Amino acid sequence: MEIKILMLFTLILALIGASSATLSPTGINYEVVALTTIKSNLHDPYNVLENWDSNSVDPCSWRMVTCTSDGYVSALGLPNQSLSETLSSSIGNLSNLQSVLLQNNAISGPIPDTIGKLEKLATLDLSNNTFRGEVPASLGDLKNLNYLRLNNNSLTGACPDSLSKIGGLTLVDLSYNNLSGSLPKVSARTFKVVGNPLICGPKASNNCFDFFPEPLSSPKTNFNPMDGFGEKK
């Protein structure tokens, strides 16, 4: 009898533990809180986020939200939606995000440095908005980042050295901002910084730093613009 009660008690504790992992103290799903906070910080003239409803229990059914098979938010795809105002730092609470596409909007304010907490993030496209401030150094913590587009914003300051820590980058596009200072050795297949007059110099040509080949240490995946030229047999 006592043992049965103990077992039941243990089971109840286990169930409470399992569900509170994704629920806030008030019983709301953390991802719903994060998404509705993101929504409330954006101006959405065409109501594309209309069904992002804080009373809804399942954000996986919301427009432009994609989830993993176990029900965590894995992608936000909101390009070309005329969104403006700011991107909430609560995006850093969507810890299963792999892809964030917010290009071609009019979002301003800083790029939240909490994005650096999204350790599964592989694709981040914030291009063609009006983001201001610096490129957050925390982006260098994104070990799985493959594709980074921050071009055509109003970013300032230096390109953070931390970006050189990321190993598997295919594309980094920082072009058409107002970055300054020296460039770290970012090892991306393609690294674009054209259109930053303080990096390239006011009279630089359009191709100023437009293309950086990968270091020669990885010849198999390397596109070397000199391949096939001047080879000595």
Binding residues vs ligand NAG (CB under 6 A): 30, 33-34, 37, 79-80, 90, 93, 104-106, 127-128, 152, 156, 176, 178, 180, 195
* Euclidean distance between CA atoms 19 and 66, whole angstroms: 21
Q: Where are the alpha helices (DSSP H) in the chain?
A: 2-20, 30-41, 197-200
Query: Rounded to the nearest whole angstrom, what is the least distance from the CB of residue 223 to ligand NAG in the complex?
Result: 23
Closest CB to ligand NAG among residues 166, 194: 194
Query: Rounded to the nearest whole angstrom, what is the least distance from the CB of residue 155 to ligand NAG in the complex?
Result: 10
Secondary structure of residue 172 in the 3-state scheme: strand
| Contact (Cβ atoms closer than 8 angstroms) between residue 107 and residue 130 | yes
Query: Rounded to the nearest whole angstrom, what is the least distance from the CB of residue 70 to ligand NAG in the complex?
Result: 18
- CA triplet 100, 104, 105: central angle to 5 degrees? 85
| Contact (Cβ atoms closer than 8 angstroms) between residue 57 and residue 29 | yes
Closest CB to ligand NAG among residues 34, 87: 34
- CA triplet 167, 168, 174: central angle to 5 degrees? 90
Query: Rounded to the nearest whole angstrom, what is the least distance from the CB of residue 53 to ligand NAG in the complex?
Result: 16
Q: Which residue is nearest to ligand NAG (CB)?
A: 90
Query: Rounded to the nearest whole angstrom, what is the least distance from the CB of residue 173 to ligand NAG in the complex?
Result: 9
Closest CB to ligand NAG among residues 146, 151: 151
* Euclidean distance between CA atoms 62 and 14, whole angstroms: 30
Closest CB to ligand NAG among residues 23, 60: 23
Token output for 139: 């982006």
Closest CB to ligand NAG among residues 28, 60: 28
